[in-house]
Chain A
Amino acid sequence: MNRKKRRLYILLLCAIGIGSATALTLTAFQDNLVFFLAPSDIAREAPPPGRAFRLGGLVEAGSVERGGATVRFRVTDGAHTISVTFSGVLPDLFREGQGVVAQGVMGPDGTFAAREVLARHDETYMPPEVAAALRRSGHWNPSQGAAPPAATWNTLSPATRTGS
């Protein structure tokens, strides 16, 4: 075994060592690495009362009530739903069907009192005309959640887009 080969094997061994150490660390700190808890996570194991955490999910369709300075809405992940109250400025992207991450504490009545609400948009990007065409054709209602599979719209031609 010559010197170059030996150096290569030493580096490979180090890579395996560092890689597995990192993997173990990340697995151990799994709970601390999540940025928010989904309603299902909370249903499974609720955080201790009075402790601040972040709640994330979609704003349920038809759940937004604006009464004065306070907004009430429900955050859902499909399986479970949690009511949220918030008084403050909502981000521009806030709407029904949008992803949100709210920071706050769970009240005794099971309502989440948010101090801050952030919008979390999805990974799809489409021109306004395409979104309008999908809505008109009944393929997508943005307030119900995520857009349909990208393959059904990502090549809709400009002629279709402007043909309204």
Chain B
Amino acid sequence: MLRGVDATSPSANLPRPGGSLHRFANPGRFLRLTDSWLPVLAAAAALVLGWGVVWGLFFAPPDWQQGETVRIMFVHVPMAWLAMGGYLGLAVLSLMSLIWRHPLADLTARELSPIGAAVTALCLVTGSLWGRPMWGTWWVWDARLTSVLVLFFLWLGHAALVRAFDDPERGARMGAILALVGVVNLPIVKFSVDWWNTLHQPASLTRIDAPGMHVDILYPLLVCAVGFSLAFAALVLAATRAAVMERRVRALQMAAARRAEASA
């Protein structure tokens, strides 16, 4: 028996020759490798997020015209970035799934989409709560708001589609195709405020050397963004690990049932 290959794993085959990506393709190895990452990631997320949220909500100055309402930004903007960055991640996983048939990419994508949908929903809800006092409306059908709503439906659609097939591999294939078609929406979300007149204002952070935001507001925002991203990564990693273990338990139960049937 080879060292490093878990004999109890349903996929306890030899590591396939190929790129370094396949280091993670073996679920048993993935579980062992990430075992020590998860607590570190979770602790870092709690620390950075706690720092950013306290800084943003209690110590950062208000905006000269929006007053204290501007603090919604410390949640809204990281959620918007994660909704789009997470979707980019989903697209990369879908490519890995379709081209290299990477089994862990399928599992991760499946666990990623509900979390992405939740993040996008939070972006929409906080934006609505911010829009009512500032713009004077909860919702308008301008290009930015509508394209983010489409992004939310793409996340939801992916989460539902990968679970809609009896054969999980088929579901993963369909979900990957949907996710890749949906990528056209990402530049539309990003550039909607530049291409068309929208009620939503353009991006404040277009160039890193000249942010349209005072540093006393910018720095806590960046810390919040890092904190929320770490928390997002920790959630996705924990969910993926749980899914790998779940699949392994099911495979063991099936094997036990087959053995019992054979001996009966």
Inter-chain residue pair count (beta carbon < 8 A):
133
A86-123 to B contact mask, C-beta < 8 Å, 1/0: 00001111010000010000000000000011111111
| Cβ–Cβ contact B217 & A119, under 8 A | no
| Cβ–Cβ contact A118 & B212, under 8 A | no
- A: number of interface residues (CB 8 Å): 50
B61-74 to A contact mask, C-beta < 8 Å, 1/0: 11111100010010
B185-208 residues with Cβ-Cβ distance < 8 A to A are 188, 195-199, 201-204
| Cβ–Cβ contact B213 & A124, under 8 A | yes
Q: Tell me the smallest distance from the CB of A2 to a CB of chain B, in Å.
A: 11
B133 at the interface (CB under 8 A from A): yes
The one of A35, A151, A156 in contact with B197, judged by C-beta atoms closer than 8 angstroms, is A35
Q: Knowing A11-B180, A92-B133, A118-B135, say if A123 contacts B203 (CB, 8 Å).
A: yes
Q: Knowing A92-B133, A130-B64, say if A150 contacts B201 (CB, 8 Å).
A: no
In chain A, what residue has the closest Cβ to B192? A33
A122-164 residues with Cβ-Cβ distance < 8 A to B are 122-132, 142, 149-151, 153-156, 158
A38 at the interface (CB under 8 A from B): yes
B43 at the interface (CB under 8 A from A): no
B135-165 to A contact mask, C-beta < 8 Å, 1/0: 1110011110000000000000000000000
The one of A14, A121, A149 in contact with B65, judged by C-beta atoms closer than 8 angstroms, is A121
Q: Knowing A11-B99, A91-B135, say if A101 contacts B211 (CB, 8 Å).
A: no
| Cβ–Cβ contact B214 & A127, under 8 A | yes
Q: Which residues of B contact A78 (CB under 8 A)?
A: none
Q: Which residues of A contact B64 (CB under 8 A)?
A: 126-128, 130-132
A42 at the interface (CB under 8 A from B): no
| Cβ–Cβ contact B201 & A121, under 8 A | yes
B245 at the interface (CB under 8 A from A): no
| Cβ–Cβ contact B63 & A19, under 8 A | no
**Docked complex Cα distance between A142 and B63 (Å):** 14
Sample 23 A-B pairs with CB under 8 A, ordered by A number. Answer: A4-B100, A7-B98, A7-B99, A11-B99, A15-B183, A33-B195, A34-B143, A35-B141, A35-B142, A38-B197, A90-B136, A93-B134, A123-B201, A125-B63, A125-B70, A125-B213, A126-B217, A127-B64, A130-B64, A131-B65, A132-B64, A142-B65, A151-B209
B249 at the interface (CB under 8 A from A): no
Q: Tell me the smallest distance from the CB of B40 to a CB of chain A, in Å.
A: 33
Given A18-B184, A121-B201, A122-B201; 19 other pairs, CB 8 A cutoff: A7-B98, A11-B99, A11-B180, A34-B143, A35-B199, A36-B199, A95-B65, A118-B135, A119-B134, A120-B135, A121-B65, A125-B213, A127-B64, A149-B210, A151-B210, A154-B210, A154-B211, A154-B214, A154-B218
* Interface SS majority for chain B: loop
| Cβ–Cβ contact A34 & B213, under 8 A | no
B95 at the interface (CB under 8 A from A): yes
Q: Which residues of A contact B197 (CB under 8 A)?
A: 34-38, 56
| Cβ–Cβ contact B211 & A35, under 8 A | no
Q: Tell me the smallest distance from the CB of A80 to a CB of chain B, in Å.
A: 15
Closest 3 CB pairs of A and B: A91-B136, A127-B61, A131-B64
